[in-house]
A and B are shown apart, each in its own frame.
Chain A
């Protein structure tokens, strides 16, 4: 709870800095503030408590994921410095929006009441709409913002409808009450229907097939830093929330009582396979790196959905997977931001010869792509390993085999970028070594490798 208040306070401070004319200090102060929030959040870890009539419940799950969100936000704020240096007057707005977005994300994983959940999702979404359209003179950015807003508000409506149906079925918004009454043998059909509507809405936020159509266009059109945010922070917030919804509302046991579990699992398996395959196959054909990573994100969403098959045991696995994925994503986007800062597109040709001009950044991008592809010692490999382990344990061997085949396909497009960096001649000068971009890239990939060397650090947090 304190975390949430502190984050919101920090966001307001960011706005005040603008008034106080402290724009230059805003990035360091926000980072310091977020580090403080991280420490605060760490203190809350392990203390299970609920606040304000159960509106917010702090649990291990919520604090662990909140920490991850805060860490990712720190990177995103650090990257803002160079990204917005052409718009010095607006930087406090941009940073404040990111902090508010984080508040929305934290509320989404620590809700104790569906009203709070909806509040969180709206705070997050509205911040995202604004950021997507934040390059207001660029028509593509406008298009992206508009598209995202239309589709997103539609999804919000569906979620809201689902919440209403659940309220109708259960007579409560409170998740502990719903959790208990979900076990009763006689449930109105509204409950599963409401859940399905909510899951559909969340799948839209995650960008899982078949609710993924917005993602490539929005990712491509949005400013690169916003794309970074969407593909890392927003995605893992949505996945964690979906997981919490399914486990917190006791959906699995309730479906089991009504003999619907098998259907549910089939649907999850189908969605997961469809997301992985469609995402990967579409990614193979992309020449725009942001678009490619959008499709890669869709396929990773498919992997993350696999955790829904083993809800009771896989919270730790999900945390590990999201951490590995988000850290690799941040490292990759740091390099993309550097390489594409003076270009109006993010085509692969921009990366030609990066291995010669900036060996360090090329190595970092390579490492992050290898992590996403699941090559050992990077945490992406262990994430996949633990996920496959869980899934085989639950008896879905064929799903794992499809996932394995997809991992092989994904190497195809990740390596396209690696080859462009190392085996093509540089076609442009790349000058300057912006400290914050380098720092964000190095630290995030280092964290990724540390997670790979010591997976227990994160994996055991939620067991």
Chain B
């Protein structure tokens, strides 16, 4: 058994979901996503036992494109994140009714397939194919099942699509250029490419455009808040929980090792861009009246910090970035789900129309509080581990980076707790807030369990990712 099994399960799952009809679709999708998760845990086991679970097969002879799926610690960690979140996301949507549900859930599984493929691909072109494939389903999910005014939604979604496609096409050009240099799209060959510092700069920038738009890093973030707000919650979770991690992961996997000279030379600029995102996102989040938009901007701040951590080119920075990616994935899905739970009862996303939920549902309030505290990186949550490591690595580069980056915690605590206060506390709301249902409770419980468990004991994940990060660093520092 190797990693291709996961992809096959997800792809078959997408078709099976489509064929199963509207009534069964959600259950079939959940079943297949759980099967994929089980399969990936099994593979993790084999990997830890030292077995080779990579997959390689020929695809196209000329130009040479290989179906190469490489599972190292980093790749497996990201795939596990994807496959753990997918069932949660699907399960969390059980309370909603979707028109044409079979297409909806099939698209979710197809997107999971493409995203898992992106994390595994070890051939530049295969990676690019998966990268683009992930874009198509989310486009339709946001366009067809999104909320808000149709005309505005259309604009936001098309802008998102054209932005991301524009960025990735420049990445494609860079890949083709690299292919001319090395004669192969294979990751290891690209790592070994001998490039002048000028070539590296252009390649670095081409990659940067693709990733900065996807992550998003300032000033390429303008698509984000609108799409997060307009997409259905499931789409927002997929986007913020997994898809933007594709960009962050690709920075580590492709951009830094292929063009290390450029990364080193302009290190300060790229860290500053990340930090600028932190400050900008936090300040704008303070002003938001829409709960989903507030979470979108808070997400912008957090990923800015992750990006800054990746660009430090230190082991701590990379490790912190990966830990924070995983932690952020879970917490942001949890928060958007909480927003959805409130929406199901109050039918509003305006913060000013909420309030007084604590009196009606203390259970929901305490779960929401844990998520909020995790989001602001309270010690003993998983996010603390990641955020702290990143800040530490930033302080190694320049203490001011750490100080400015640290505002994410201070400002984050401010706007998140203020939001919590407005949404949850206060006098009882005139609208009734039914207590969380069992289904909703399970989703929350799983997310919180993960956040707390790895908050206390992050060792399994650090052990998993550290060797592959060290390999990447050795490529970066080879000359």
Contact = CB atoms under 8 A, between A and B. Distances in A.
Contacts of B179: 389
Contact of A400 (B60, B125, B176): B176
Nearest to A316: B62
Interface residues on A, range: 20 to 34
Interface stretch (A37-45, A269-277, A415-423): A415-423
B173 A404 contact: yes
Contacts of B176: 385, 388-389, 392, 400
Contacts of A370: 136
Interface string B163-178: 0011001101100110
B140 A422 contact: yes
Contacts of A389: 63, 176, 179-180
B96 interface: no
Interface stretch (B25-33, B127-135, B219-227): B127-135
Interface string B140-163: 100110000010011000100110
A385 B180 CA distance: 13
A411 B60 contact: no
Which has the most chain B C-beta neighbours within 10 Å: A370, A386, A408? Answer: A408
Contact of B128 (A376, A459, A463): A376
Contact of A385 (B125, B140, B150): B125
A404 B170 contact: yes
A422 B143 contact: yes
A397 B129 contact: no
A419 B135 CA distance: 15
A460 B61 contact: yes
Contacts of A407: 169
Interface residues of B, number: 31
A22 interface: no
Nearest to B150: A423
Contacts of A427: none
B129 A377 contact: yes
Interface in B98-147: 103, 125, 128-129, 132-133, 135-136, 140, 143-144
Contacts of A455: 60
A419 B169 contact: no
Interface in B165-211: 165-166, 169-170, 172-173, 176-177, 179-180
A396 to B, nearest CB: 12
B60 A404 contact: no
Nearest to A455: B60
Interface string A353-395: 0010001000000000010000111000110011011001100
A423 B165 contact: no
Interface string A299-339: 00000000000000000000000000000000000000000
A423 B144 contact: yes
Contacts of A415: 158, 161-162
A385 B65 CA distance: 11
Contacts of B153: 423
Nearest to B153: A423
A375 B172 CA distance: 12
Contacts of B61: 456, 460
A412 interface: yes
A463 B61 CA distance: 11
Which has the most chain B C-beta neighbours within 10 Å: A381, A386, A389, A400? Answer: A389
Contact of B173 (A381, A400, A412): A400
A397 B154 contact: no
A375 B143 CA distance: 18
B161 A423 contact: no
Interface in A415-463: 415, 419, 422-423, 455-456, 459-460, 463
Contacts of A385: 63, 125, 172, 176
A31 to B, nearest CB: 30
Contact of B158 (A377, A388, A419): A419
B55 to A, nearest CB: 17
A401 interface: yes
A138 B170 CA distance: 46
Which has the most chain B C-beta neighbours within 10 Å: A376, A404, A455? Answer: A376
Contact of B144 (A392, A393, A397, A422): A422
Nearest to A388: B176
A392 B179 CA distance: 10
B162 A412 contact: yes
B173 A376 contact: no
A392 B63 contact: no
A411 B136 CA distance: 12
Nearest to A363: B103
Contacts of B166: 408
Which has the most chain B C-beta neighbours within 10 Å: A423, A455, A456, A463? Answer: A423
A369 to B, nearest CB: 11
Across the A-B interface, the 9 shortest Cβ-Cβ residue pairs: A376-B129, A376-B132, A408-B166, A404-B169, A392-B176, A389-B176, A455-B60, A389-B63, A388-B176
Interface of B: 60-63, 103, 125, 128-129, 132-133, 135-136, 140, 143-144, 150, 153-154, 158, 161-162, 165-166, 169-170, 172-173, 176-177, 179-180
9 contacts: A376-B128, A377-B129, A388-B172, A389-B176, A401-B173, A411-B162, A411-B165, A415-B161, A456-B61
